[in-house]
Amino acid sequence: MPGKRGALLDPRSREYHWVATAIQAVAEASGQKSRWNKRVYFELSGLEGAASPDGGMSVSDATVLHPLRRAYAGEQLTDSDLSQLRDALVTLTHESLHLCHELQNADGAVQLSAAELALEEGLAENWAQQNVHQVIHAMDLAGKHPTLLTQKPVDAYPALQSATTTLVDGVDTLSGRQHEEVVRRLQAAKATERFGVIADLVIEGRYGGTGDRPELRAQLERTLQEKFAPVLTVERDGSLDADAQKQRGSEISALAVAELDQVLTSPHSRSPAQQPQAVEQTWEQQILAWQKEQTQQAAAREPQVGSVEHLQKFLAQGQPHREDSGQVAQLPGTPADPRHLIARRNPGRAVD
Ligand SMILES: [Zn+2]
């Protein structure tokens, strides 16, 4: 079960203090307000950590707190220990960033589409990998273990991370804005409004304003919802190794960007993209739906290929024009997977 919470950590304990320090450091470094409700639980699902819709944080005793206890005790750590320690800190960073993002609707439910969920996870993990050093410094671990800062990253979501990077790169190109600014705008937006933010950015880049193009904006949003969603299927595909997931995630995202460009260029020549289905379920129903879904094969279908002329660089990073080389399982409008949303997996373990 995702996000299976155990007992609360005592707020007077040092473990609680470590988690609180990380949460505060992430809020400061990201410039965003945290929704943390001051509660920290033991995570019992086997995952490294989870951020809950109610603002609670849970962490694994074995894979997050234990490495920290050893580090603060001044034990001699091997390279492998240091790698695990860094990953524990990335987990704290990743979950803390989820707590800075607005994921819920007015009723407190999290109802993200597959594409929105994939982007939230990709943004959270990429940011965590790039900013974990700020948490390491805040937790005063750099002095004790200086080589912690140079440990190799262990990516928890290879497909979602590469797809997110490719998407942001594409938006940079189409909008003429800096990469950092695009990331900042996406981080600050509600998870359900990020594709609208992208639509605004690329319309501004192409036409110099957004005010009088509501139909184009809606069409761009729908296109992204449909074309970006399959990266979640790739992330869940246990038959692919991390490198293959990375490559496939990037390819799907490059095609989504190419499609975005085509809609921008000739909006009315495109057939309307499918409407993403809103996930109108409670949190518990989403969990049940996800478990049921795991027993079914996702229908495979050919990805659509868009105009790629001046976006060639994105496609060229992977295997250009691989559109006919295999099928990409697509899961439009799939119920949001709460485990992906709230939990950081233990690298090396299957996501599901
Ligand atoms: Zn996550």
Greatest alpha-carbon span in the chain: 64
What value, to the nearest 5°, has the Cα angle with vertex 154 and ends 240 and 187?
95
Is the CB of residue 24 less than 8 Å from the CB of residue 51?
A: no
Q: Ligand 1 center to residue 344 CA distance, Å?
A: 5
What value, to the nearest 5°, has the Cα angle with vertex 263 and ends 261 and 266?
105
What does DSSP assign to residue 57?
A: E
Q: Ligand 1 center to residue 123 CA distance, Å?
A: 9
Q: Ligand 1 center to residue 131 CA distance, Å?
A: 15
Give 314-317 contacts, CB < 8 A, sequence gap 24+. 314/166, 314/169, 314/170, 314/250, 314/253, 314/254, 314/257, 314/258, 315/251, 315/254, 315/255, 315/258, 317/166, 317/250, 317/254
Predicted pLDDT of residue 347 = 52
Which run of H or E residues covers position 164?
A: helix 158-175
Give 199-203 contacts, CB < 8 A, sequence gap 24+. 199/224, 201/171, 201/174, 201/175, 201/177, 202/171, 202/174, 202/175, 202/260, 202/264, 203/264
Alpha carbon 207 to chain centroid distance? Answer: 30
Q: Ligand 1 center to residue 96 CA distance, Å?
A: 9
Q: What is the distance between the alpha carbons of residues 33 and 47, in angstroms, rounded to a whole number? A: 25
Q: How many CA atoms lie within 13 A of 348 on its CB side?
A: 6
Read off the pLDDT of residues 65-74 as tens digits, 9 standing for 90 and up: 999 999 999 9
Predicted pLDDT of residue 270 = 52
Q: Ligand 1 center to residue 345 CA distance, Å?
A: 8
Residue whose token pair is 């951020």: 51
Read off the pLDDT of residues 319-349 as tens digits, 9 standing for 90 and up: 222 222 222 232 333 333 333 344 666 554 3
Residue whose token pair is 């969603």: 229
Q: What is the distance between the alpha carbons of residues 142 and 163, in angstroms, rounded to a whole number? A: 31
What's this model's pTM, rounded to 2 decimal places?
0.79
Q: Ligand 1 center to residue 151 CA distance, Å?
A: 21
Stated length of the chain: 352
Q: What is the distance between the alpha carbons of residues 62 and 58, in angstroms, rounded to a whole number? A: 12
Residue 49 neighbours by CB under 8 Å, 6+ apart = 43, 57, 58, 59, 60, 64, 91, 92, 94, 95, 343, 344
Q: Ligand 1 center to residue 262 CA distance, Å?
A: 31
Residue 55's φ and ψ, nearest 5 degrees, are 95, 5
Alpha carbon 178 to chain centroid distance? Answer: 20
Single-letter code of the amino acid located at 130: Q
Q: Ligand 1 center to residue 264 CA distance, Å?
A: 31
Q: Which two tokens stand for residue 222?
A: 């729908």
Predicted pLDDT of residue 53 = 84
Which run of H or E residues covers position 50?
A: strand 49-51
Q: Ligand 1 center to residue 232 CA distance, Å?
A: 13
Residue 193 neighbours by CB under 8 Å, 6+ apart = none
Q: Which residues of the chain have pLDDT under 70?
A: 1-3, 210-211, 267-352
